[in-house]
Amino acid sequence: RGALLIPFILLLVFLGGFAVKNAPEDVAMVIVFGLLGWVMVRYDWPRPPILLGLVLGGIAESNLFIATQAYGTLGWITRPGVIFLGLVMVGSVAYAIRRDMKRRSAAAAELSDVRDVSDTA
């Protein structure tokens, strides 16, 4: 089934990429992002962050420009919502680092227990 289905899907993907603006550069972008996705699958990297960045990047940039114009260069940083989100991000990173350190110390303790048992046997 895949031998019949995959070429048809690839044809539709490339036609869809070309049909948007009738530009061959768009087909090249389809190939580039296809290769990027393949590399990410091959090396077990998550793909949703790239998708979120592509979808939300333009929106975030325009809103950053609006906030900078409204509150000054760094004035928007003192807003309560921004402070809350910043604290949530710092807390998330700190939690992830702490969890990773606990896992590593537990793995090291388990490894030393295994070495102690093998040394006594």
Residue type, 69: Q
d(CA 82, CA 89): 11
Q: Is the pLDDT of residue 33 over 90?
A: yes
Q: List, for residues 58-89, the tens digit of each pLDDT value.
A: 999 999 999 999 988 888 888 899 999 999 99
Question: Rounded to an integer, what is the distance from CA 24 to the centroid of its chain?
Answer: 28
Give the pLDDT band (50/70/90) at residue 107.
confident
Q: Is 33 left (phi over 0), alpha (psi -120 to 50) or beta?
A: alpha
Instruction: Please state the rounded mean pLDDT for residues 36-42.
Output: 95
Q: What is the mean pLDDT of residues 93-103?
A: 96
pTM of the model: 0.56
